[in-house]
Structures are given as structure tokens and as C-alpha cells.
Chain A
Amino acid sequence: MLRASAVAERAGVPTASLVCEGFIGQAATTSVGLGLPGLPTALVPGHVDVQSPEELRRNVAAVTVDAVIRNLTEAPAAVAGAVVEPAPGDIVFEGTFDEVNRYFYENDWSDGLPIVPPTPDRVAEFLRFCDRAPDTALGVLLPDKRRATVWNVAVNGVMAGCRPEYMPILVALIEAMADPRYGVEHSGNTPGAETLIILNGPLIKELGFNYEQGALRDGIQANTSIGRFWRLYLRNVAGFLHHRTDKGTFGNTWRVVLAENEDALRRIGWTTIAEDEGVPGGNAVTISRYTGGGVIASVFGNTPDRMLPYLADAIVGKVGWELLFTVGMGVGSQRPLLILSPILAETLARGGLDKSALKRRLFELARIPASKLEKYVGEWTNFMPGRPKLTDLVKAGQIPAVFAESDDPQRLVPLVCRPEDLMVAVSGDPLRTNAYAFAHNGILGYPTTKPVRLPADWSRLLREARAR
């Protein structure tokens, strides 16, 4: 909302942003990143969600209205000037390993685990794996509005414990982070969803990513350190910090990189995630934010008909309020992810399903009563005020006809707008019949895929790196 106010203020239109009490601090820091540190806000005491209409009216009348009037009638305090930050090559600290770690931690540059000190030598080694100049801009990231550069990618990669040869992946990841489609500025929102990185291409094997047993578990350097890099970069460059710009109510630890089992995919003729997302031809990263997920244990059966009801039910079980992203905020942006172990994928393929056929079947089976979807977005939550009926939304042309095939409140409706909105990846223990389903965060972290560009002399560089 502050972002909308910033646009209006820049256009010369006075604004008042109503901010619930718990968000005042975040509003102050966020408005700085928007370049309008004096952006006027009007306090709403407490949180509106838990107030009766009378309480809310009282609070607004006693506190908010005055502030709104001041916001709209008084000139915001002029706050100008640029913050001086260390230049890319500056030595910010010299000391022992322990001292460096404490210094970085106390200055909010670390996640609490030891970092690898980003010395000039180590950073230079990373830069060798990128053909672009260190000061190449990859984008500008909110909330701090800091420039993402090849240099600061390398610095955070060193700190996270990455190897230099991961650098091309790190650069591609930050290009994806900076893509407006992804929406990095939402990364501090209250549901606290976390990004999952999916890797495709020959790099999976060249760099030793795990794509089999324990695919989502830490413990393998490539998967683990790149996952950590993502969160460090959000902290150090985008500027998401606990208790300040981050309002994730719970959040969770960063996720390790999920690498697909492309041998299995090729055996059954299925496309990769990157190909599904329109980036064919090799190495690519896909980022997307998921609110949460869980395992689907012991999928039983040797035909799609036996297996699919359970898998569809598992997706239904994961997706609740996130249906907002199906029919409300960013219609059709809900993209649940199902990860199949290779043996499950192979069994489904043997039953005659390619990936798009599988998605169509899941689209048919993963359904809930229309009345329940309406409850998620309009009754149990206040995401869509006025408790709109799906039938009315269809009539208004806002959502696809599939949500109003009748007006029976108990009719079954899908979780997503189109079969293609479901995503299916293949990874994990090849011979165990388990799957994993993630609910998605819609436009607040939309799937974004970028190709990984390798340096011209990649083979030689990689050989040298391996020899060290």
C-alpha cells in the first residue's frame, strides 16, 4: 500500500496511508526505501482484524481521522540526502575469523551462522566465473532500493559458503529476484512464505547437486550454500531484516535448492520445470515462493486411477487461504507445486500420462466445494470484503467459467484457474513412493525462470576449480 502512496505522492497527489499499529516501524523503514522517508501514515490502533465494528469506529474516530487530515493537508517533512555505504572494494574490517564473524553478525550482515569472510581474493575468484564486469547492474531491489551487482552477488556467495563455480547460478538467481514478475518487494509480508529454487540443466551433475534421497535436506554443499545465499542476499542487498522491514509472522528457514532428476525425466519423456516455464535448452533456475508444504507418504497403487485421488487430496490439503491468489488478488496466480519421486513419476508415465495429461487429471480431481472456497477468501478471512460469490465473479468476467458450472454451493471447483497452473517436478529418493506438495504465494512470489549464462571458458575454469 505504501508503494501505491509513493506513486501518488510522486504524481503530486497527497496521500494518507492507514497503518495498523504493529506495522508502523515497517512503514517507516519501507518508506525510506521508496525514496520518500516522510511518507505520511495514519495510525490505526491495534489490528483491524480482531476489532468489532464499534471498536474500529471508535479507534478510527479517536486517532486515525485526525492523522488522515494532517496527512492530506500538511506538507510531509522534507528528508533528503544519500546514505553513504561502503564502496564495493572497501575493506570494512580486519581481524581474526571470530572477529570478522562477530562484526558481520552484530552489523546485521549475517544470518547467525558463521560466514566465510569475503576477502578480496575470494571475491576475485568468484568474479572469474562471470564474464560481466563486477559493477554490472542486475536490478534495483526494494525495500532498501540497493543496486544488485555482479560484485555484491559474489560477496554474498563467498559469505554463504558457496564455491566460486556456483557464480553463474548465483547471478541468474539475482536476475530472477530483480524481475518485477517475481515481486521481491513482497518478501517481508506477514504470511512469511519462503522461496524455493529449482535448478535444471547439466550443471546439476557438473556441480554435484543432490537430486535424489534427501533432495530438500541440507547437507550437500551446492544445494545448501546456494539456498543460504538467497536469504543472505535478501538481507544484505534487498534489505529484509527481522523486526524492521520483515513482517513475516513466523517465516521459516531458507530452503535448499531443489535439483530435478533429469535422467528420470528423460526416461519417461517428461519436460523439466524450466521447459514448462518457457525456458528450454539447458541450465536454468526457477524461483517461486511457497507458504508451506508437506510430504505425501506411501502413495499406493500401480495405475494413475489408483494413485491420483491421494495426490490430488494432498494438494487440496495444502491449499487454503492461498486460494485468494486463484480468485482474488492476482487471479490465476496460485501455482501449487507437486514433487514426485522418480518411481511415482515413472508409474504414472507407464499408465499413459505425460506431464500435461497429469496436470489435467489433477485439475479435475483436486477440487473443493464452492462454498468452502468462498469461506476461505470472504468469511474466515477478510481478503475479499463483501463475501463475493464465485458465481458473481464469473458473471463479472473476473474468473473462469469453471468456478460457476452451477449455482449449487456444494458443487466442486478447482484450486487453480487452468491445469497449467499446477507445477510438477521430479526429484527425491528414486525408489520410494513419496511425494511432496507446496501451496503457493501467488503474485507475491510468482514463478520466475532465468537461464544460467556460463562464462566463455567455463570448461577450463571448472577443471581448474575442481583441481583446487
Chain B
Amino acid sequence: MDALWVLVPAGQRASGEWIDDTLRARAAEKGLLGRSPRAGEFPRQRVELVRGADPVAAVNRLYQERGWTDGLPIVPPTLGRIDEMVAAGGRDRHASLGEVAPLAGLATVEKIAANAVMAGCEPAYFPVVLAAVEAILDPAFNLRGVQTTDENVAPLLVINGPVAARLGINAAWGALGPGWPANATIGRAVRLVMQNLGGGWPGAVSFAGLGQPGRYTLCLAEREDTPWPQLHVELGYRPDQSTVTLLRAETVINVTGGLEEVASVMGSAASLFGILHSGKPAVVLSPLTARRLHADGWTRAMVREALFTRGRLDAATWRGSWIRTAVRASDWPGWVSAAAAHGSIPAVREPDDITLVVAGADLPIPQHAYCPSWGYPPCRVTRVIPEAGQGP
């Protein structure tokens, strides 16, 4: 028999209640206790001792049955690992970053650390996780909406600045794919925080009909080696600062080709929710394309302008769409109706609503991605990631 001292990673409200009591009731109502047969069954304390011949397996089994994992194995949040994580974050372990919607578990540094350990984060990643959690707790992010909507939206994390290279946050080959610990685990930590502290359990609280793979993780860095200023510099930060920028991504659509092809996808039904909410989508542009455009005298603003001008949805498509009739006419923004009267609707209200990110490999066949947005209010939330030892 061996044993592990682990921290209870579940959400506790300011009043002391555990959100798992609500979750168990909701899961039972929905007949979803098959996923989490032991929901709510845990010692209502900070710490528990898990024994077993293979305690890592025992923790994994317990946590899955209590509904605390995303379905993949987790790293047990042992007290030693949490201490290392907390130390790397540079903030008091009891400090709370706020309540995680919708079930209002407190995002204390220690609880976030537990979920980061479970996600497999290295301690050095923790300042990024903390900044990202701060960003999703910003009221502008509308976490309640993201967690509970029937749409399949997921947080998209874009990392800029020196921290990306230092932590190995991938911006190149397969930046949105598997194989890179920082990309994989930082995004996963944010998801586990949403699930375990906010209560975003699928089917019980989160009503996304289909979900998307980006709900495991959706995190990349921007390429630093293009001639354009980086996203965070465009947003007003210094090049030597590191930032995380949070967007609400309904999905990730691959587009191979040039700006015309990107504009074509933007001017499609993929943008209907974004148009309804005057949202801020992301366009991930291939580095090769960025260099070529720069050589031809293009700036980032010109790219956005071009996508705004060319990426138009035919008014007839809009009028005939399901969402057009499902939503009251008065709920559509004035700029949409005005544009429709002229025959076509841009994918965004104005060019600057497009968040341009340069990432991917240096392939001769340029690959881009379009991430349409979902939800109110239009949002692009950026937080500075403090350098190690500098505090927030």
C-alpha cells in the first residue's frame, strides 16, 4: 500500500459550499451520473490522502468518477507539486482571482495550481495559467455564457512576447496540434479550472451540443520572426512584455490558399453568430503569406481592411439562414441590417474587430485558420504575464 497527499481540486464558494453538490444534483436530473458516478463524494476538506497499491491510478480513477477530469489521465495534484506550482506563480496561495462562473467556485491560487498540476503543467507555465484565468474572469469575457451556451465555443489563448520562447509555447509546426507540452497543458489547465471551479460539466451545466476538440486545449503563440509588429505590440504593449490574449472561438476552420480564400470562408455561414453578436474573430495567417504581403508593402491593418472588404456574406444567404429567423429581427445589430440593405454583410462590424495572429510552419502551401467568434459582449481580453519573480 502506498499513498498520495492530494489537494481537493473542486470549487468552493465564498460561503464555503462546494459546487459539486449542485453538480451532482444537475447531473442526476440529466441522467448523466454515468460519467461521474461518485460526484460529490469526497472529503469536504482542503486535502485528502489516497491509498492504493498504485496510488496514481487510484487518484485517476477517483477523480474521473467524481467528474474532475476531461477524460484524459491527470497528474495527481500532490501537495509537493502544488507548492512548486504556487511558488512559481509568485502570488499568495490563498489569494482569489475571483468567482468562476457559473457556479461561483473561488479561483484561489492554490485551487488553480491543483488544476494546473492535473493538466500536466510545468511550474514555469503557472504565471501564464494565472494570467489566462484572470482574463476569462474579466466580465468582458462572459464566462457564464461561454460555460452554459448550447454553442460550442472555447477559449482561444494567444501568447505573445518573450515568455513564448522561454516556455516553448509553439507558434510554428503544428501550433494548434498535439506534441507541445506548453500548448497542450496551459489550455488544458484553463479548461479544468472552468470545469472544476466553475462547474462547466458537459450536459449538466454546459449545454454545448457537439463541443469541439478545442475544448481540450486551444493555445498557441504568435511567430516572432515576421517583419510585422506582434499582436501585443499592436494592442499597445511593449515588445519585451509577455501577454496572453483570450478570444472566444466557436471553432477552428482551416483555409489553404491566400487572402481571397480566407475572405471567402469569413463571408460564409460560419460567421453568422459573429455577425449577430458584432463579435471579434481571429484569423491565423501563415508566416509565408505575412512575409510576402509585407514585401509587397502591406501592413497588418491593410490585411484586416482587405478581409473586411472582401469577406462578405451575401444578404440573401443571411435572410435565408436558420439563425436569421430564429432570432428576433430587432436583436440584429443596426449595422447588419444596414449592410444587408446594400446586398452583403461584412463578417465583422469594423476591420479592427479581426484579431490577426501569425502562426504555423513555413510551408510553401500557405495554411491559415479562421476562428469565428461567439457571444456577447464583443471581446478580446489581454493580460500581461509577469516575468518570474516580478509578481502581478
> In the complex, what residue of chain B is closest to A31 when comparing beta carbons?
B14
Q: Which one of A100-108, A195-203, A411-419 is at the B interface?
A: A100-108
Contact A32 B15 (CB under 8 A): yes
Q: Which one of A78-86, A169-177, A373-381, A437-445 is at the B interface?
A: A78-86
Contact A95 B49 (CB under 8 A): yes
B232 CB to nearest chain A CB (Å): 26
Contact B44 A85 (CB under 8 A): yes
The docked-state distance in angstroms from the alpha carbon of A387 to that of B5 is 55
Contact A107 B14 (CB under 8 A): no
Which residues of chain A have C-beta atoms less than 8 A from B13's C-beta? 37, 79
Bitwise interface map of A from 1 to 36 toward B, beta carbon under 8 Å scored 1, else 0: 000000000000000000000000100110010000
Bitwise interface map of A from 104 to 121 toward B, beta carbon under 8 Å scored 1, else 0: 001110000000000000
Which residues of chain B have C-beta atoms less than 8 A from A92's C-beta? 43, 45
Q: Is A99 an interface residue (CB 8 A)?
A: yes
Which residues of chain B have C-beta atoms less than 8 A from A82's C-beta? 17
Contact B5 A106 (CB under 8 A): yes
Contact B45 A28 (CB under 8 A): no
Contact B49 A32 (CB under 8 A): no
Q: How many residues of B contact A (CB 8 A)?
A: 22
**A51-93 contacts to B (CB < 8 Å):** 79-86, 92-93
Interface of A is mostly: loop
A78 CB to nearest chain B CB (Å): 11
> In the complex, what residue of chain A is closest to B8 when comparing beta carbons?
A107
> In the complex, what residue of chain B is closest to A144 when comparing beta carbons?
B16
B199 CB to nearest chain A CB (Å): 14
Contact B44 A86 (CB under 8 A): yes
Q: Is B54 an interface residue (CB 8 A)?
A: no
> In the complex, what residue of chain B is closest to A36 when comparing beta carbons?
B15
> In the complex, what residue of chain A is closest to B106 when comparing beta carbons?
A28
With A37-B15, A102-B5, A107-B45 as given contacts, are A243 and B96 in contact (CB-CB < 8 Å)?
no
Contact A32 B46 (CB under 8 A): no
Bitwise interface map of B from 18 to 29 toward A, beta carbon under 8 Å scored 1, else 0: 100100000000
The docked-state distance in angstroms from the alpha carbon of A86 to that of B21 is 15
> In the complex, what residue of chain B is closest to A109 when comparing beta carbons?
B45
Q: Is A244 an interface residue (CB 8 A)?
A: yes
Contact A28 B14 (CB under 8 A): yes
B-binding residues in A (CB < 8 A): 25, 28-29, 32, 37, 79-86, 92-93, 95, 99, 102-103, 106-108, 243-244
Going nearest first, the 6 A-B pairs with the smallest beta carbon separation are A83-B16, A106-B47, A107-B45, A37-B15, A37-B14, A107-B46
Listed by A's residue number, 21 A-B pairs whose Cβ atoms lie within 8 Å are A25-B95, A25-B96, A28-B14, A28-B96, A29-B14, A37-B13, A37-B14, A79-B15, A79-B104, A80-B15, A83-B17, A86-B44, A92-B43, A102-B5, A102-B49, A103-B47, A106-B46, A107-B45, A107-B47, A108-B46, A243-B92
